[in-house]
């Protein structure tokens, strides 16, 4: 069970991305509802003392890397990727992975994981500005610039800035269930799960269309997951041709309409399995899959488990709304 979180910072680290990890793991929200844990959150550095930030400020860090020696999660904060990372930091990351702890990087922190050899042969991501550079420097690493975060072999890498929140909430969801992640996200006033990927933010030509109609359509789709949504009908609701709509939908969400709907239906099924006594047939119907066989298929594909196993693991952790 995830209890202790250690964030490693080095000179010229980024304060905002560091703050995303602190917001999720560093604030005690155990009074927000059943199942929301309080984490032992630690900040450590190779040489304790004043550590300069990229912004020009400094942070006094009193703990050395020994604070990460027994952590259940070790996070590498982003830093100036052209700078050398002390070997002691790389050793701490390797040791964490070797003992089976979670290891995470936010944004350019992936360069330290790659330098430590932890990403060889694994899928990973970083900010799309740096993805080509990471792939060129470390050819054994499988870099995907089109996702917000990647989990592979208990290593989680995330893209820039707010994607750090997505990665942290993903880990909370993995360890404690969708309800606990939703409770923390609600307190932070952020979505518990964002779909799509960095394709939404990479500077590429996009079809001309205002975003407000698409946002309204996405909300309507979530409110009507138990209905069929043919592309031509969705396109008609926002007054586009099916071809233009499909192109625009992928540009804004990073996914096809079918893939986006299935991910939302999986999330709805998770909530129903955690919070209700509904049988699997009814969960499949209310989440929009219609048939239990489709529910089981997508659960296995997305979560690598069955609905029954998920319910046994996370039953009773649902936090009441409000």
Write down the pTM of the prediction: 0.69
Which residue, 312, 2, 15, 51, is CA-closest to 181?
A: 2
Lowest-confidence range among 50-54, 99-103, 216-220? 216-220
pLDDT-based confidence at residue 209 (cuts at 50, 70, 90): very low
Which residue, 101, 105, 109, is CA-closest to 54?
A: 109
Higher pLDDT, residue 109 or 321: 109
> Which pLDDT value is given to residue 33?
66
Class of domain 259-314: mainly alpha
pLDDT-based confidence at residue 147 (cuts at 50, 70, 90): confident
Q: Is the pLDDT of residue 168 over 70?
A: yes
Q: Is the pLDDT of residue 187 over 60?
A: yes
Alpha carbon distance 180, 36 (integer Å):
6
Average pLDDT over residues 37-66: 95
Q: Is the pLDDT of residue 82 over 80?
A: no
Q: What is the DSSP string of 270-294?
A: HHHHHH----HHHHHHHHT--SHHH
Average pLDDT over residues 246-274: 88
> Which pLDDT value is given to residue 189?
84
Tokens standing for 219? 């909300």
Q: Percent of the chain having pLDDT more than 70? A: 90
| Other C-beta atoms lying within 10 Å of the C-beta of residue 232 | 9
Sequence ranges of the chain with CATH classification 3.40.50.880 = 4-188
pLDDT-based confidence at residue 162 (cuts at 50, 70, 90): confident
pLDDT-based confidence at residue 200 (cuts at 50, 70, 90): very low
Q: Is the pLDDT of residue 206 over 80?
A: no
Q: Where are the beta strands (DSSP E) in 198-282?
A: none
> Which pLDDT value is given to residue 197?
60
Q: Is the pLDDT of residue 254 over 50?
A: yes
Which residue, 194, 14, 187, 168, is CA-closest to 104?
A: 168
Q: Is 231 helix (H, G, I), strand (E, B) or coil?
A: helix
Sequence ranges of the chain with CATH classification 1.10.10.60 = 259-314
Question: Strand 73-76 to strand 102-106: parallel, antiparallel, or no bridges (unpaired)?
Answer: parallel
User: Is 5:39 a contact under the CB 8 Å cutoff?
Assistant: yes
Find the Cα–Cα–Cα–Cα dihedral 264, 267, 268, 269, rounded to 10°: 120
Q: Is the pLDDT of residue 319 over 50?
A: no
What DSSP character marks residue 186? H
Q: pLDDT tens, 94-141? A: 999 999 999 999 999 999 999 999 999 999 999 988 999 999 999 999
Alpha carbon distance 38, 281 (integer Å):
36
Query: What is the fold of 4-188?
Result: Rossmann fold (3.40.50)
Lowest-confidence range among 15-19, 118-122, 189-193, 274-278? 189-193
Q: What are phi and psi of 212, to 5 degrees?
A: -60, -45
The mean of the pLDDT values for the chain is 88
Which residue, 53, 55, 32, 29, is CA-closest to 43?
A: 53
């Amino acid at each position: 069970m995830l209890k202790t979180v250690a964030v490693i910072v080095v000179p010229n680290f980024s304060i905002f991305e560091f703050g995303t990890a602190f917001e999720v793991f560093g604030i005690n929200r155990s009074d927000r509802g059943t199942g929301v844990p309080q984490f032992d959150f630690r900040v450590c550095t190779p040489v304790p003392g004043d550590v300069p930030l990229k912004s020009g400020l400094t942070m006094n860090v009193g703990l050395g890397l020994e604070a990460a020696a027994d952590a259940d999660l070790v996070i590498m904060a982003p830093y100036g990727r052209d700078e050398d990372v002390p070997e002691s930091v790389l050793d701490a990351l390797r040791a964490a992975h070797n003992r089976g702890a979670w290891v995470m990087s936010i944004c350019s922190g992936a360069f330290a994981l790659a330098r430590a050899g932890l990403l060889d042969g694994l899928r990973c991501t970083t900010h799309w500005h740096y993805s080509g550079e990471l792939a060129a420097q470390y050819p054994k690493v499988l870099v995907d610039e089109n996702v917000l975060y990647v989990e592979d072999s208990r290593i989680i890498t995330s893209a820039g800035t707010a994607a750090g929140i997505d990665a942290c909430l993903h880990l909370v969801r993995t360890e404690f269930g969708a309800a606990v992640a939703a409770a923390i996200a609600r307190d932070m006033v952020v979505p518990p799960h964002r779909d799509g990927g960095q394709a939404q933010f990479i500077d590429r030509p996009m079809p001309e269309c205002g975003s407000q109609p698409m946002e309204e359509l996405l909300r309507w789709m979530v409110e009507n997951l138990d209905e069929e949504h043919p592309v031509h009908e969705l396109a008609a609701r926002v007054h586009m041709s099916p071809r233009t709509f499909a192109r625009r939908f992928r540009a804004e969400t990073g996914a096809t309409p079918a893939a986006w709907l299935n991910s939302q239906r999986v999330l709805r099924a998770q909530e129903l399995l955690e919070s209700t006594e509904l049988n699997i047939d009814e969960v499949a119907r209310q989440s929009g899959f219609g048939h239990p066989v489709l529910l089981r298929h997508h659960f296995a594909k997305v979560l690598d488990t069955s609905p029954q196993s998920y319910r046994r693991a996370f039953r009773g952790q649902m936090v009441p709304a409000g």
